[in-house]
Structure 1
Amino acid sequence: MSDALTRYRSADEDSARWQGFPFRPGDIVISTRSKSGTTWMQMICALLVLRTPELPAPLTELSPWLDWLVEPPERVYARLAAQRHRRFIKTHTPLDGVPSDSRVHYVVVARHPLDAAVSLHHQGANLDRVRLAELTGQPAPPEPAHPRPPVGQALVRWIDADPDPHAELDSLPGVLWHLGDAWARRHQPNVHLVHYDDLRVDLSGQMRRLAERLGLEPPGPDLVEAATFERMRARADRLAPDAAGVLKDRNAFFRSGRSGQGRALLDAAARARYHSRAAALAPPDLLAWLHRTEA
């Protein structure tokens, strides 16, 4: 097990909460960027582990977000310690910020960065930021000086921004840092990369593949059906990540789940700029895998 971890902090997350966490053999860590299929993968793991489409508790209780500052760490640790089923734990921390343990499986979901950025933009409008600040002990956010830009304009700004990836993990540099770190570990037997578009195109096949890699029984049709976007959206009250009441609308969390929406918002020049920036931030083989569904 490695103790040399990179620390990632934001207003509502701190990866230091992983330090010293007592893993169990077989634990599953779900490490994703925001709006890249986190809740989807949590649901898939819940179905594969618990073997029923009728989950015994809300998904956030079954699969806690360990490094979210909204809930005290001792409460999260106690809930995980009390679980008797195989545990599957959520994080938005890259794998270099999570302890590496050969007994543990690490699942990283990759989504086309432009699609994730579009979803993140819409998610921003659905967050109760006053409530979030209250829960994390932060000052109340000021009223915005200007209205939110249209999604297409915001996407162009996101492509052009160049923050430190460690400081802004949901930026383009941050997304590709997270995926690049996982890509470099992909040959390790307990690190599993899953492409969001593969889940969309062949959910049953991808669930069977993941079950095999995790040493679990393959899913039946009822479990696959329960993991579809339509079924999950219909059960947003129990599946949306909103145990603390920070979403204005739980149904809006499951907005569309489509792919290709980011590229469709850009003209040819902006798409070329995106690809040029991505090429400077990630290796060609990762980008070929990440972008392979582009027309």
Structure 2
Amino acid sequence: MSDAPIRYRSADEDSARWLGFPFRPGDIVISTRSKSGTTWMQMICALLVLRTPELPAPLIELSPWLDWLVEPQERVYARLAAQRHRRFIKTHTPLDGVPGDPRVHYVVVARHPLDMAVSLHHQGANLDRARLAELTGRSVPPAPDGPRQPVERALVRWIDADPDPSAELDSLPGVMWHLRDAWARRHLPNVHLVHYDDLQADLSGQMRRLAERLDLEPPGPDLVAAATFARMRARADRLAPDSAGVLKDRNAFFRSGRSGQGSALLDDETRARYHSRVAALAPPDLLAWLHRAEA
């Protein structure tokens, strides 16, 4: 959302695909970190826009992941150009990597970083990496998956790692980079921050709040019910982001991740080390909002 967006690239994403994208007034860009409620927010937007719990197509077709290299750019652009409903588009790119347009709404979903990291660890075991490499055209096949380390150990390593945040956006520095940038823009009328824990605690109220911010009609009980975790998991075949077959198990994508699960896995010393690290990566008011479940 800057005059000169930052370019973010990974093995299967490239934010340069946003450059030149022809926005329409009212477009909704859903910008999240991985395993932070992306599909949940896509479903909420689908329900608020289309006004029916029976979606007319799989969610990933209704709400394409624009910068995912698995699908050719021209095909994604063409599908979005053909849509006649109000568009809602997925990205894992921070807002400073997406062109800014005052006619467009930008929704950022935040989740407690420790909970996100736990879900990300479990998601890693559900990816068919050979299939992903084939689809993105990587010439070197991925190494065979070795024995996976316990989630507790993986979480500690994730807390202590210190990569370039712009290169590894799902690292702790990368997560805080994404959220810090969105937090600094929260005063803008077209930037909307949503907390994952608020969706869990009051889905109906959060859907009504978002509908008001997006100038949409408030949801009825049928639409709220369709956005519950249980209902979404029951329809994983149409809602999981897996048009290309990169998930080993679509039902496992909707793993029941509880708020507070990440912090509960840590001892007091490691938990204190986590808080010391994030205090150096984000302002206190953002951290108070992000960590409210610990208060």
**1:20 corresponds to 2:20:** yes
Q: Which residue of 2 aligns with 1:187?
A: 187
Structure-1 separation of matches of 2:209 and 2:65: 25
Structure-1 separation of matches of 2:66 and 2:290: 27
The correspondence of residues 81-160 of structure 1 with structure 2, limited to 5 A, is 81-138=81-138, 139-144=140-145, 146-160=146-160
Identical counterparts, % of pairs: 88
Structure-2 separation of matches of 1:2 and 1:242: 31
Counterpart contact for 1:229–1:257, Cα < 8 Å: no
Counterpart contact for 2:24–2:103, Cα < 8 Å: yes
Instruction: Kindly provide the amino acid, as one letter, of the partner of residue 163 in structure 1.
Output: P
Structure-2 separation of matches of 1:74 and 1:273: 45
Structure-2 separation of matches of 1:281 and 1:149: 27
Q: In structure 2, the residue corresponding to 1:164 is in which secondary structure? A: coil
Structure-1 separation of matches of 2:159 and 2:141: 28
Counterpart contact for 1:2–1:101, Cα < 8 Å: no
Q: CA offset at residue 2 of structure 1?
A: 4.5
Q: In structure 2, the residue corresponding to 1:281 is in which secondary structure? A: coil
Structure-1 separation of matches of 2:164 and 2:153: 22
Structure-1 separation of matches of 2:44 and 2:246: 24
Task: Give the number of equivalent residue pairs.
Answer: 294
Q: CA offset at residue 294 of structure 1?
A: 1.1
Runs of 4+ in structure 1 deviating by more than 6 angstroms, as ranges, are none
Structure-2 separation of matches of 1:114 and 1:179: 14
Structure-1 separation of matches of 2:265 and 2:117: 12
Instruction: Kindly provide the amino acid, as one letter, of the partner of residue 142 in structure 1.
Output: A
Note the residue ranges of structure 1 that are not aligned, 5 or more in a row. none
Note the residue ranges of structure 2 that are not aligned, 5 or more in a row. none
Q: CA offset at residue 257 of structure 1?
A: 3.1
**1:204 corresponds to 2:204:** yes
Instruction: Kindly provide the amino acid, as one letter, of the partner of residue 180 in structure 1.
Output: R
Structure-2 separation of matches of 1:234 and 1:143: 31
Q: In structure 1, the residue corresponding to 2:294 is in which secondary structure? A: coil
Tell me how large the CA RMSD over aligned residues is. Answer: 0.8
The correspondence of residues 162-181 of structure 1 with structure 2, limited to 5 A, is 162-181=162-181
Q: Which residue of 2 aligns with 1:63?
A: 63
**1:235 corresponds to 2:235:** yes
Deviation string for 1:183-224 (max 9, x for gaps)? Answer: 000000000000000000000000000000000000000000
Deviation string for 1:17-58 (max 9, x for gaps)? Answer: 000100000000000000000000000000000000000000
Q: In structure 2, the residue corresponding to 1:109 is in which secondary structure? A: strand
Structure-1 separation of matches of 2:259 and 2:253: 16
Structure-2 separation of matches of 1:64 and 1:3: 24
Structure-1 separation of matches of 2:2 and 2:142: 37
Q: TM-score, normalised by structure 2?
A: 0.99
